[in-house]
Structure 1
Amino acid sequence: MFDVLARIQELRESREWSVYKLAKLSGIPQSTIATWYQKNLYPPIDKIEILCNTFQISLHDFFSYEDFNGLSKDQKNLLTKWDQLSEKEKDAIYSIINLLLTSK
């Protein structure tokens, strides 16, 4: 399974950012980020999108270092075209990803 927390840590450390700096830049409280790690909870997809914006990468780039095991061709295409999606399409994807992340 894709390790969202490890990916966040990898991106943060590659920029030499502390959790505090990530919190300040993203607007996500430091306590929230710390709770994700302490309780091994995956952040909701809307927070992952905020983090992606903070890291200045796309959602596709966030997940791209894995080869998208288990995703259909259509699902892969959606991730690569995230910025072109309507809010309704994004909401549908949020629901699917949150369901996948919480069923670990």
Structure 2
Amino acid sequence: MDVLERIRSLKIERGWSEYQLAEKADVTQSTISTWFRTKNLPTIPSLEKICAAFNISLAQFFFEEGDTETVLTEKQTRLIHQFNRLSEAQQNSLLQFLENL
């Protein structure tokens, strides 16, 4: 897996700038910029902060299409994908709605 490409993809998916990611992850923008410019990988603590900003786990970050450990239906995958794009407040509202059904 290309870690930097995964970060870039998640950032673009959310419509975030490098600055916004840095703010949300509590990592300096220059650090993120250096990763991409020099092709250096983030440390595990930095990657954990990036994942927290994206509201995903490290396992979700490294999950690749075709991994067989967790088998989800197409609908479940779509639901998780859309859920991860929501803000924390939106996620909480959606969870509350689903729990009240």
Q: TM-score range by the shorter chain?
A: 0.5 to 0.7
Gaps of 5+ in 1: 74-104
Q: Distance in 2 between matches of 1:58 and 1:27?
A: 16
Written as runs of structure 1 = structure 2, the 5 A alignment for 1:1-104 is 2-65=1-64
- State the aligned residue count: 68
After TM superposition, which residue ranges in structure 1, 4 or more long, deviate above 3 angstroms? none
Q: Distance in 1 between matches of 2:66 and 2:39?
A: 23
Q: When the two structures are superposed, what TM-score results if normalisation uses the length of structure 1?
A: 0.61
How much does 1:29 deviate? Answer: 0.3
Q: Distance in 1 between matches of 2:40 and 2:66?
A: 22
How much does 1:37 deviate? Answer: 0.5
Q: Which amino acid aligns with 2:36?
A: Y
Spell out, residue by residue over 1:30-68, the C-alpha distance to the aligned partner (whole angstroms, 9 max, x if none): 000000001000001111111111100011000002557
Which structure has the larger Rg?
2
Q: Percent identity among equivalent residues?
A: 43
Q: Which amino acid aligns with 1:16?
A: G
How much does 1:12 deviate? Answer: 0.5
How much does 1:15 deviate? Answer: 0.2
Give the superposed CA RMSD: 1.5
Gaps of 5+ in 2: 70-101
How much does 1:25 deviate? Answer: 0.9
